[in-house]
Amino acid sequence: MRSGEVFRHTALAINIFQSCLKNNTVRSCSYDPNLPPTRTVRLRLGLYEVYLRDWLSIFPRDQILVHRLEDHSKDLHTTMTRVFKFLDLGPITNQSDKDAIFMSNAKRSQKKRYDSIGQMLPKTRRMLNKFYRPYNQRLAELLNDTDYLWLEKSSV
């Protein structure tokens, strides 16, 4: 799919979601299985604040670990160490376990797929930033962490 098509599908997904919001809550629209599918744009998956609030209504905050995928991708060792500490698993001593856990797996990367699509159009990024801004603001407040505002240029 080309960047122009992605823009059109993104605009459609946002319009469908905003139409739902006219008569429903954000939570209702986020989970609504009857909203028309928008092929390649999985807009509702990025509404982390909505889903996290549901989890926090069941589990205490200290039982939920949240970290950003881009942080994991940039520093696999730090994020996996944090996961192991959170789960109280102790240090990894076996070298083959260390290799399996802490080494990046290029086979899982979608870089080739993204390279074939091309860069996101600036207008698509602006549209997504505008859509997600209020949800990301609430998420950052909920987590007391401004990293979840995704303000840097490379993220959405």
Q: Compute the distance between CA of residue 83 and CA of residue 143 in angstroms, rounded to an integer.
A: 17
pTM for this prediction: 0.82
DSSP-H helix ranges across 22-103? 26-31, 48-56, 69-74, 76-86, 95-102
Phi, then psi, of 85 in degrees rounded to 5:
-65, -45
Structure confidence by residue, pLDDT tens digits, 15-68: 999 999 999 999 999 999 888 877 678 899 999 999 999 999 999 999 999 999
Structure tokens at 84: 């192991």
- Tell me, what DSSP letter sits at residue 35? S
- C-alpha 59/C-alpha 135 separation (Å) is 21
Mean pLDDT of all residues belonging to the chain: 86
